[in-house]
Amino acid sequence: MPACLVCHLGLVSFPEAMEFEHDLIKLRFEEKIGDVLLLCEHPPTITLGRSGNIANILLPREELLSRGIAYFESDRAGDATFNCPGQLVVHPIMDLRNRKGLLRGYVTDLEETVIRVLAGFNITAARWTEHHGIWVNEKQISAIGLRVNRSISMHGFSLNVNPDLADFSAINLCGLAGKSATSIEYELGRAVPVMDVIPKIEDSFSDIFQTDLKSISKRGLADICLDSNSSRIMAQCKN
C-alpha cells in the first residue's frame, strides 16, 4: 500500500498548524513529499470558514478575549467551528489525483473514518444529510471542513474526545443555531484520554484510505519543510 506520513503535532496554535499545512501542501503539489496526516489539538479557538457568517459567533470579541478564546478566519469550507484541548483535529494533506475513488468519495471516506472510530467505542454515529459533520443523537461529535488547492486537500475534521463542552456554546456549530456538541467521553460517561483515540483514528484512516502510515516527529516534519530538496525526504516519503 502507498505510504503516508503521520505526525502528532500536539497542542499547537491554529496559525502554527496552518503554517505546517501550507508548507506541506506546496511540497505535496511539487511531489517532493508523499501524503501526510497531521493530528493536533488547539488551544480554545474559533475559526470561521470562507463563507461563514460572523453572526454565528455568539460572544463579542471582548468576551472571547477574556475567556482566552482565539479567533481566526479560515480558508476552509463551512461556517464557525470551535477547537479546544480534548478535541482532536485531523488534517490529511493528500494528493487527490492519486485517488481513484475520487473527490466526492474523499469526504465520504473521511466521515467513514470517524464513524468507524466511534463504532470502536460502541458509539453509534451517523452523517446527517442536512447538516455537516458526524452526529450522535442530534449532537455534533465531529465537524468537517476542507479546502482543495490544485488537487491537494487541506484542513480536515475534528473529533471531540474529552473537551469542555460548555465552551462550544460560544458559537452556532457549523452555523446551526440550537445545536449542541457531544464527545466520546460524554457519550460513554467515563474518562477517555486523547491518546487512546489517536491509534484508532490511525487504524481507521489507514484501512479506509488503504495507506501505510509511517510516523514522523514534529521536528522531523519541520526539517522536511525546511529542507525540501533532501534526498532523505524522497527516500522517506516515496511510495
The residues annotated as belonging to the active site are 174
Inter-residue contact 79 to 12 (CB < 8 Å): no
- Residue whose entry in the numeric block shows the C-alpha cell 491554529: 14
Instruction: Yes or no: say if 67 and 59 are a contact pair by the CB < 8 Å rule.
Output: yes
Q: Which stretch binds other proteins (CB under 8 A): 57-65, 118-126, 178-186, 230-238?
A: 230-238
- The verdict on 50 binding other proteins (CB under 8 A) reads yes
- Report if residue 96 touches other proteins, rule: CB under 8 A: yes
Q: Is 31 one of the binding residues for other proteins (CB under 8 A)?
A: yes
Beta strands in the chain (DSSP E): 3-11, 35-41, 45-48, 70-73, 80-83, 87-93, 126-128, 131-136, 139-149, 152-160, 212-215
181 neighbors 173 (Cβ within 8 angstroms): yes
From 74-82, 158-166, 192-200, 217-225, span contacting other proteins (CB under 8 A): 74-82
Q: Is 78 in the site for other proteins (CB under 8 A)?
A: yes
Of 6-14, 15-23, 76-84, 189-197, the window that binds other proteins (rule: CB under 8 A) is 76-84
Amino acid identity for residue 58 in this structure: L
Instruction: Report yes or no: 116 and 110 within 8 Å, Cβ to Cβ.
Output: no
Binding of other proteins by 77 (CB under 8 A): yes
* Contact positions with other proteins (CB under 8 A) in 102-141: 102-105, 107, 132
Torsion sign, CA atoms 185, 195, 159, 41: positive
Residue 151 engages other proteins in binding (rule: CB under 8 A): yes
Positions in the binding site for other proteins (CB under 8 A): 2, 29-31, 49-51, 75-78, 96-105, 107, 132, 144-151, 153, 229-231, 234, 238-239
